Amino acid sequence: MEQSKRNTFIIIGLGVLLIITIIISFQLGRYPIPTKEVLGIALSKLFPFEPFWTDRVEMVLINIRLPRIVLACLVGCCLSAAGAAYQGVFQNPMAAPDILGASAGAAFGAALAIYNYGSNLMLTISAFFFSLLTVSLVYLISRRVKGNRILGLILSGIIVGSLFSAATSFIKLVADPNEQLPAITYWLMGSLAGAKIGDIKFVIIPMFVGLVPLILLRWRMNVLTMGDDEAKTMGVNTNQIRFIVIICSTLVTAASVSVSGMIGWVGLVIPHLSRKLVGNNYNHLMPASILFGAIFLLLVDNVSRNLLTTEIPLGILTAFIGAPFFIYLITREDETS
């Protein structure tokens, strides 16, 4: 009971920290905005009063920073939730959101759209579509695999993901080296630069549809971690739950990658760090991962757009931060075991 109360306080604390991080993020940038004006503009949307800020400040806040901050939170929480869900379903601590090839499919879709001079909307739609298509192929192939179904799913993901990665490399080979190739390369590095309200409108529904079942089914994920035989004795249809979790995790991953590009390590490191805080119980682990993921990616995005005069792609920063931190986590686990 004491552990449950402690975990509840930690989750509440993460929620408060996320709100503080969001407020601070609105102030940071090439054009600093004081806290008073940030809160004033936010409250003016609810209560009418005389503005004490310029139109330029409001334009920067609403049209530039708001979409980017919201997307950073959404992508961070979705990738973390997907990572935590996959690790439970596959009973593998190394499982990540791209384990079934969703990211490889999205990369091919984006590269194909850029190669055909598609608009930003077409790029997002293409990345989203091919991400879902890739995982669908993985699932269909795994159904034909004899023996261990989970192992067959993982191996199918590796194979199909490799094929789509090769297809992406081929597009890079034949792309225009002056315009298309740099655009493809930059997208593959991951970034939220140029985020728009339209991007939020495109991904919010699939993210909501995917996240809600993951939150509602979190106690059943605890049962899945016990193994199929024990789960069945408790009356849980493991195949059905596993299918739903994979579909929902794929949906949020596809939506995230379609607007952010390739951002690694979030779905691998954050669930592990959340376990350090609240333990392995998915009743607490899932909300903690969601909040922690949003905080982490928002902080990384703040570093990305403020550290240097030129923006650093998010994929580079998450790798620089995530890889050493994950080494620390696994070595500490070895010491305590």
Residue 80 is part of which domain span?
2-336
The answer, yes or no, to whether residue 167 has pLDDT greater than 80, is yes
Cβ contacts of 282 within 8 Å, gap of 6 or more: 84, 88, 218, 219, 221, 222, 225
pLDDT single digits (tens) 236-288:
788 888 889 999 999 999 999 999 999 989 999 999 999 999 999 999 999 99
Which among 106, 301, 114 has a CA at the least distance from the CA of 194?
A: 301
138 within 8 A of 153, measured Cβ to Cβ: yes
Average of pLDDT values for 217-234? 78
Cβ contacts of 177 within 8 Å, gap of 6 or more: none
Q: How many domains does the chain have?
A: 1
Total Cβ atoms within 10 A of residue 60: 18
Average of pLDDT values for 8-17? 96
Q: State residue 333's pLDDT score.
A: 55
Residues 258, 252: Cα–Cα separation, whole Å: 10
When pLDDT is cut at 50, 70 and 90, the band that residue 74 belongs to is very high
Q: State residue 1's pLDDT score.
A: 58
pLDDT single digits (tens) 291-336:
999 999 999 999 999 988 889 999 999 999 888 877 877 777 544 4
The answer, yes or no, to whether residue 211 has pLDDT greater than 50, is yes
Distances in whole angstroms, Cα of residue 198 to Cα of each of 66, 87, 125, 246, 330: 12, 32, 12, 27, 40
Which CATH number goes with the domain that contains 285?
1.10.3470.10
- DSSP string covering 267-323: HHHHHHHHHHHH-S-HHHHHHHHHHHHHHHHHHHHHHHHHSSSSPPPHHHHHHHHHH
pLDDT single digits (tens) 104-158:
999 999 999 999 988 899 999 999 999 999 999 999 999 888 877 888 898 999 9
Residues 54, 293: Cα–Cα separation, whole Å: 33
141 within 8 A of 160, measured Cβ to Cβ: yes
Residues 157, 139: Cα–Cα separation, whole Å: 8
- Which amino acid makes up residue 254? A
The CA-CA-CA angle for residues 119, 316, 31, to 5°, reads: 70
Residues 133, 100: Cα–Cα separation, whole Å: 11
192 within 8 A of 131, measured Cβ to Cβ: no
Residues 41, 61: Cα–Cα separation, whole Å: 8
Tokens 């890739």: give the residue.
134
- Find the Cα–Cα–Cα–Cα dihedral 279, 282, 284, 286, rounded to 10°: 110
Mean pLDDT of the chain: 90
Average of pLDDT values for 195-220? 93
- Which amino acid makes up residue 272? H
H/E run at residue 97: none
Direct distance between the N- and C-terminal alpha carbons of the chain, in angstroms, rounded to an integer: 25
Would you call 55 exposed, middle or buried from its count of C-beta atoms within 10 A (0-12, 13-18, 19+)? exposed
